Amino acid sequence: MRIAILSRNPRLYSTKRLVEAGEEKGHEMHVLDPLRCYMNINARESSIHRKGETLPKFDAVIPRIGASITFFGTAVLRQFEMIGTYPLNESVAISRSRDKLRSLQLLSRRGVGLPVTGFASQPQDVPDLLEMVGGAPLVIKLLEGTQGIGVVLAETRQAAESVIEAFMGLKSPIMVQEYIKEAGGADIRCLVIGDKVIAAMKRQAKSGEFRSNLHRGGSASLVKLTAAERATAVKAAKIMGLNVAGVDILRSNHGPLVMEVNSSPGLEGIEAATEKDVAGQIISFIEKNAKAHKTRTKGKG
Ligand SMILES: Nc1ncnc2c1ncn2[C@@H]1O[C@H](COP(=O)(O)OP(=O)(O)OP(=O)(O)O)[C@@H](O)[C@H]1O
Ligand SMILES: [Mg+2]
Ligand SMILES: [Mg+2]
């Protein structure tokens, strides 16, 4: 097959591994920078161009679209979908997963366990909002944050109010969330492909820190999942419409709670922690599932 990887940087671990895994299985792999793709959108035959040339037809496309280029990146991916290329993850599903609130709403509608989460626009609604999620201690998150930046644990009500006031003053949308203390500064990353969790790791925050992000000094180790955790991760990916997803779960005293669902999960941490060939399994999934014009949405919506 001819497979495109939409990635800004061919030297990234995940991109390199996907190229390697694809070539090992005899495929023709092309890394395309989504920001260097431009589109001809018309009523007869839309096309994608790069450096003055029309791109050839690809059998499949693997989107590795960073959060900062979601808007243009998903438009390029949608163009691939419209001309019949099989997308590993669809543009609509990626857009959904990039909006933390929308994701939580979609998951809650289907009864997936979540930390109780509140969202408000106006400062005068903050006192009731804090009450609603169970009061301090609680977690405050910037909607746009990544890698743990913009995630704050407020131990007291006063601390919570002043942090929220500061964020609202800066016009940065935030959500407040019940603090899952019993998770003990750890979360579980489940790597879902199709309807299976094919690898999982536990990330433990360094001491004195509640955020388990590896970028914040957390460490990864192997973990054995319960049946409920596996089922939750697979269900969450399915609801989001993602074939491949990194589902982050907190272990609470009332079962697994989904924190977020990532549409371009990094491969480095999970392949190192589990010694699994995640990239190879992604290529195998494409081999089994890729068909021209096979999408749920054909770029609609
Ligand atoms: N409600 C919560 N209760 C306990 N711990 C939490 C809670 N929310 C977040 N954490 C901890 O903080 C870390 C960072 O939070 P989160 O994953 O929501 O933000 P982020 O990592 O910045 O976002 P992204 O993963 O999109 O980059 C989590 O990995 C988890 O360890
Ligand atoms: Mg996270
Ligand atoms: Mg994330």
pLDDT value of position 295: 80
pLDDT digits (tens, 9 = 90+) for 48-104: 999 999 999 999 999 999 988 999 999 999 999 999 999 999 999 999 999 989 999
Q: What is the ipTM of this complex?
A: 0.96
Give the pairing type, strands 2-6 and 28-32: parallel
Sheet strands side by side (includes 28-32): 28-32, 2-6, 60-63, 86-87
pLDDT digits (tens, 9 = 90+) for 200-253: 999 999 999 999 998 899 999 999 999 999 999 999 999 999 999 999 999 999
| Amino acid occupying residue 85 | T
Annotation-wise, does 260 bind a ligand?
A: yes
Domains of the chain in sequence order: 2-96 (3.40.50.20), 117-179 (3.30.1490.20), 182-289 (3.30.470.20)
181 within 8 A of 173, measured Cβ to Cβ = no
Give the distance (Å) from ligand 2 centre to CA of residue 43. Answer: 41
88 vs 257: CA distance, rounded Å:
26
133 vs 244: CA distance, rounded Å:
31
Task: Give the percent of the chain with pLDDT over 70.
Answer: 98
pLDDT value of position 95: 94
Query: Does position 300 have pLDDT exceeding 70, yes or no?
Result: no
Give the distance (Å) from ligand 1 centre to CA of residue 67. Answer: 16
Ligand nearest to C-alpha 211: 1
pLDDT value of position 298: 61
| Mean pLDDT of all residues belonging to the chain | 94
pLDDT value of position 46: 87
Q: What is the pTM of this model?
A: 0.95
